[in-house]
Amino acid sequence: MPSQSTSALAAARLFFPVTSVIGVEPDCPFTPAMLKKVSYAGAQSASFVQATEDLKALAEVQVSRERVQRWTKRIGNQRVSQIEEQAEAYQGLSLPDRGRSPVDQVPQVVCVQMDGGRIQIRDRQEDSDSRESKGYWRESLVGCCLSMTSEEQSADPCPTIPKTFVDPARISDLSRGIKGFSGTSKQRKTHRPTRRPTASADPTCWSKASSPHVQGSTCLAND
């Protein structure tokens, strides 16, 4: 008859007693932190083989391709189920409840700003004497999300359109910078940039005191 300690040790290897406490499944061979790294590598890498190489180089752990694939797919299926449950719960809400924010702390004012441009990428392996730059231009996409506060006004602080938006020459100058130049070649040659009106020169612009104040910002960029 085997001893109780030997039997308990064999059972503990199959059913770790604190798996439910630390938040992993009984058959999971990873800690919660390592499971997060494994599933992230499996989802972000080009292949599960590459994911194992990434884990070895970055997390300094050796995980087989089969395990990366198995647990990445399992976590992915769980996320899909969670999204479907949340979508079903949302569809069951009334229209007023659907319009409410899912978080308690809602900014008073939010602002989303988008912009793009062109940046030149330098090939570090290229000969420094080379002057060839063709093919190294990339389009940059930048987004900025702002959380703001603003004081309520009894009257519209800017009742009329600011002059900067009704100046035909300035609007033409702005439109020419969108997706290249517009108009005929003769118009482009005779066009001269106009001086940008300042807020102090435009009596219709609101003051700084009545403008929204930025509390926090998050910027995202992609090229």
* pTM exceeds 0.75 for this model: no
Torsion of CA 87, 88, 92, 95, to 10 degrees: 20
Closest Cα partner for 43 from 31, 32, 55?
A: 55
Q: Which helix (DSSP H) or strand (DSSP E) does residue 221 occupy?
A: strand 213-222
Among all chains, which residue has been given the structure tokens 């299926």? 77
Closest Cα partner for 72 from 91, 95, 47, 89?
A: 47
Residue 100 scores a pLDDT above 70 = yes
Q: HSE-up of 94 (CA within 13 Å, CB side)?
A: 2
pLDDT in tens, 49-86: 999 999 999 999 999 999 999 999 999 999 999 999 99
Bridge partner residues of 117 (DSSP): 140
H helix intervals, the chain:
4-14, 19-22, 32-44, 48-54, 65-91, 95-98, 168-176, 185-190
Tokens of 64: 């087989």
* φ/ψ of residue 39, rounded to 5: -70, -35
Biggest alpha carbon distance in the chain? 102
How far apart, in whole angstroms, are the C-alpha atoms of residue 60 and residue 73? 22
Residue 126: Cβ-neighbour burial (10 angstroms; 0-12, 13-18, 19+): exposed
Confidence of residue 40 (pLDDT cuts 50, 70, 90): very high
The DSSP code for 206 is P
| Least confident stretch, 70-79, 101-110, 161-170, 190-199 | 190-199
Tokens of 193: 């940039």
pLDDT in tens, 144-169: 999 888 888 888 877 888 787 888 88
How far apart, in whole angstroms, are the C-alpha atoms of residue 167 and residue 193? 12
